[in-house]
Amino acid sequence: MRRVKLSFATGVEVEFADRGRAIKQVEDFAERGTRFPVVVFGPEGCGKTAWLKQAAEVLKGFGFSVIYFNPVRREFLAEVGIEGIERRALEVLKQASSVNALAGFIGYVIDFAREAIRLGRGRIAVIVDDAFQFIGGREASFFVKGLLEVIEHPPEGYERIVAIAATSEGESRGEIGRHLWANLMPMWNMPKMGFEELYGKLPSPKPKFEDVWAICGGNPRILSQLYEAKWDIDMVIAWLIRMKDLTRSFVKRWEPYLKKVVEDPQSLWEEDFPSELKGELIAKNLIVHNIYDRNPKFWIDEPPPERDLELGIGRDVAWQTPLHREAVKRAITQY
C-alpha cells in the first residue's frame, strides 16, 4: 500500500503514520461497500483528513473510482476514468473564488457519482472532508441524504459504493444524527504508540516525547502548531484563547462551572450543569460531548480510554485535547 505524503508543517512532509485498525476498516468497506454513508466525527486536528487521503489510496487499490472533495484544501478530484467528469471537477475549482464558494459546489459530488454509475463505473468511492462547517448542519444532513439516495436508488446497477464524509465535533453531528441517513462513527486522537511514530519523524531539537504527549494528547494538528511555534507552549495557548473567543465576559460569567470542567470534564454531564454553557463549549469545539461506548466496533481506529484525567478525558465528556483545557485554565487565571 502506498502511503500518502502529507504537509505537516513549513518545510516538513511526513508519510501517513499508524492508524492500522482504521486502514483495515477501509479495506472492510471496500470488500462490502457502505450500506449507509459513514460520517466520521472527532476532535479538530485528530487526523481525519490524513486518514481520508490514505483511504482514497486504499480504495483505488481495490479498483474503485474515487471522487474526493475538500474545499479547505481546494481539492476536488474525480478519478473515475471519464474525461468529461474529471474536466468538470477542474472547472469547479477554477470557478470558486473562496473556500465558501467552493463548498457551495458540494452538490456536484452527488451529480458526478450518479453520472459515473450511469456510465458503467461499478465501484465508486465518494470521500468528502471539511465541507460541512461551511454549508451548515441542515444542508449537511441533506447532502448525506443525497448520498444515501445514490446508494439506494442509483441510475444504473453497480457493484459497490463506499461513501465517507468527515466533520469536526460541533453542531453538524447533532443535525445529521437526528435522521437515520448515516452511520455516525467517532475517531479519536492518535494512540500513544502511533503518535510517537509521528513525533519521531520531526527533526530535532525537540522536547521529550512524554512532555509533548501530555499537551497534545495524540492530536497531530496541535503537534504541528507546537512545532511551528518552535515548541513555545505559551504562544500556542495564547493563540487558542483568541481563536476560541475565550473573552473576559465569557470566562467571568461561567467561571465556577469552567473550573469544575477543567478539574474533571465529566462534571459537564451532571444534570445541574447549565445547558447554555454546554452548548457554547460544543459550538466552540472545546469539548467532545456524549462520547460513544468504548466498544471498538463503534469507532474508527482505537477509542480513547474510559477515563484519563491527565489528558482531560471522562466517560461521557472530554476536552478535545489537553491544550484546549489548558487554554480555558489560562483564560480563567488571566481574567
Does 181 lie in the same domain as 198?
no
- Which burial class, exposed, middle or buried, applies to 294 when counting CB atoms under 10 A from its CB (0-12, 13-18, 19+)? middle
- Segments forming the whole domain that contains residue 273: 192-334
| The pLDDT value given to residue 214 | 97
| The pLDDT value given to residue 106 | 93
Distance CA 38, CA 27 (A): 14
Does 198 lie in the same domain as 177?
no
Distance CA 282, CA 302 (A): 22
Does 21 lie in the same domain as 152?
yes
Kindly give, in sequence order, each residue whose CB lies less than 8 Å from that of residue 24, ignoring residues fewer than 6 positions away. none
pLDDT in tens, 185-238: 999 999 999 999 999 999 999 999 999 999 999 999 999 999 999 999 999 999
Q: How many CB atoms lie within 10 A of CB 47?
A: 29
| The pLDDT value given to residue 85 | 94
| The pLDDT value given to residue 138 | 82
| The pLDDT value given to residue 170 | 56
**For the chain, how many structural domains are there in total?**
2
Q: Give the CATH number of the domain where residue 171 resides.
A: 3.40.50
| The pLDDT value given to residue 139 | 87
Does 256 lie in the same domain as 118?
no
| The pLDDT value given to residue 91 | 93
Q: Which residues of the chain have pLDDT under 50?
A: none
Distance CA 304, CA 313 (A): 8
Does 298 lie in the same domain as 230?
yes
Kindly give, in sequence order, each residue whose CB lies less than 8 Å from that of residue 205, ignoring residues fewer than 6 positions away. none
| The pLDDT value given to residue 167 | 84
Grid cell 484563547 is found at: 241
- Which of 153, 186, 219 corresponds to the end of one domain? 186
- For the question of whether the overall pTM of this predicted structure is more than 0.85, the answer is yes
Does 168 lie in the same domain as 28?
yes
| The pLDDT value given to residue 171 | 56
The helix or strand, by DSSP H or E, that contains position 162, with its residue range, turns out to be strand 160-168
